[in-house]
Structure 1
């Protein structure tokens, strides 16, 4: 479920988000009810193993909307008894007071947009919390929820490797058992993109970014939280079921403005994208009962590219079909010789170095 509103727009973010404003609670709840019913017609009787509230800042959504989506899913599909229900939140005092309400609504896992435990870095990143609030928020979340993720951003301009080691170690010491650590990237059209274009500051060089990545692997693994995907580190049993579904090419539905979905229909992969602007999405749902503005049956090549681009991010890699294995054999042999891919029977796995260089690896693997 995509909630498109934020209290403020962070300068690095290129998601489909809008400045928070007053919303018609009943209208939004009704729209999510309608869209989920539309998905149930297209994907009936599927077992739901996870629900993810992303954004934007879904913790700003009315509690009735969060609870309503969970209840609607339970009415439309069978839901696993141990379903993972994640909600993204920020560690601000205002949201902290709502953590118990999220749990009462049915949320089982919080993903906290901490981003840093350094006040100067948080100001640079445009966050509306300070380091003290971040620490308080993490501790409060861990008191209420068995499963908590912390988002952190590294390779910030001027950041030292020693400072990142301390920051990451502190996040682990507080008690986090899942950390999503992302390199700061300059996305087109963002405030950071404009700042870099005007030479106000420069991101770190590629070699230094690689050092940050390697340090992240080292510190997290030493704490018993090895990477199970390029950016995600978890203690055993704390991996994100929902994100694994993306990377493993399982089917999922997406409700809300700009939300993506993937369904396998008659053995073909179909892609869905919701109307981007909130008013357009609401109008489309109210008129048609479904908010998707784009619906496409992926070509075999497009489906294969997506499969490998997602699957090779993980330590489990990709299960190849015989046709794929034969088609990709020359490239696999070359890349295996370079030490970036490993073939294990009919599975193809990126080495640790291969995951670091995945964009380059994929370009060579899928060149034809």
Structure 2
């Protein structure tokens, strides 16, 4: 795309409700006995209209329904949001419309209606291919139910991805290799493969603090990570981001908008956005967001210009997650600062000499070996 051409806009829609809260989850998800579906549809449409007024003249290249559990949304609500988004912005001919879904039989029964509403890509939260592991992770589905939902998804959507969580307590390298080999045999074009991490404020954090959960140590986790990347690459789904693997051309276009640090609008409780140099965030608690929409016509809580250099720093932190790396001239333009103001060039040179980074002065990339140490590398090379 020529530098002067504005890339398509992305839209994120947050549906905050779940049937239950998973013990590892620190996302903005909530359990409620009942949801006023008409009120939620109308509030999301109002929030969308507000963003559309502030981002005129753009076309949407991707829409992502995240959560929470957006497969609990009525398909009619999904259709209404997509209709309003197309009327407000217009769609690119190849727009990607993704919805996260739980692999329960109840939600899988909605897949045909969700596809008819306009969803063309589904991201399925399988999380494990082992019933004991699913129980440990607090998932409501079993393996058989999950695989039935996967088959239904593949029959209804043009593009299908699913998630797995590895580096679980007691998981051996051999067991993970067998589980991943089975996952690769299902023939999906995209996999999101995450190491289990203990997030503050979750039930697992409480369990880990009490010594009741012990995840694999650094060396064991490194072996699992390296095996994951080797197996997916051999199967034709190489890692294009630290935890995401896809056939060439099947990468998540929506997530690439985040990682390439392009503009996106975020609506719904807790949704964040980047609107032409502004950082936006919605009220997080569902009831507070609804009250804000009723009061102001939108759910925005924060709309702040990013200070000089902050955009460059964010672009680096996001872009270095990608195998393609980052264009340093663009980083400088985004932040309005010289590259030396946001990158420690001495540390870049040292890490490059160790084979962990690659830099030619114009482009910076984390090497395959460096990806294993990404969490340590980023604070070393990104200033501030």
TM over 0.5: yes
- Give the SS at the match of 2:115: helix
- After TM superposition, the runs of 4+ consecutive aligned structure 1 residues lying more than 6 A away are none
Q: Within 5 A, what are the aligned runs for 1:82-231?
A: 82-231=94-243
Alignment deviations for residues 323-342 of structure 1 (CA, whole Å, 9 cap, x no partner):
54444332321221121111
> Equivalent residue for 1:346?
362
Change (3 A) 1:324 1:185: farther
Alignment deviations for residues 100-156 of structure 1 (CA, whole Å, 9 cap, x no partner):
011001000000000001000000000000011111111111112121011000000
Structure 2 alignment gaps of length 5 or more: 1-12
Q: If the length of structure 2 is used for normalisation, what is the TM-score?
A: 0.92
Residue among 238, 243, 255 paired with 2:250: 238
Deviation at 1:302, TM superposition (A): 2.3
Q: If the length of structure 1 is used for normalisation, what is the TM-score?
A: 0.96
Contact 1:149–1:176 (Cα < 8 Å) also in 2? yes
> Equivalent residue for 1:270?
278
Give the whole-Å Cα distance in 2 for the aligned partners of 1:134 and 1:297. Answer: 43
Identify the range of structure 1 (282-291 vs 48-57) with the bigger mean alpha-carbon deviation: 282-291
Change (3 A) 1:324 1:121: farther
> Equivalent residue for 2:380?
364
- Give the SS at the match of 1:272: strand
Alignment deviations for residues 159-179 of structure 1 (CA, whole Å, 9 cap, x no partner):
011111111111110122100
Give the whole-Å Cα distance in 2 for the aligned partners of 1:304 and 1:270. Answer: 13
- Give the SS at the match of 1:253: strand
Residue among 293, 296, 299 paired with 2:301: 293
- Give the SS at the match of 1:100: helix
Cα RMSD, aligned residues only: 1.2
Deviation at 1:345, TM superposition (A): 4.9
Contact 1:47–1:79 (Cα < 8 Å) also in 2? yes
Matched, 1:5 2:17: yes
Give the whole-Å Cα distance in 1 for the aligned partners of 2:149 and 2:64. Answer: 20
> Equivalent residue for 2:266?
254
Give the whole-Å Cα distance in 1 for the aligned partners of 2:75 and 2:33. Answer: 16
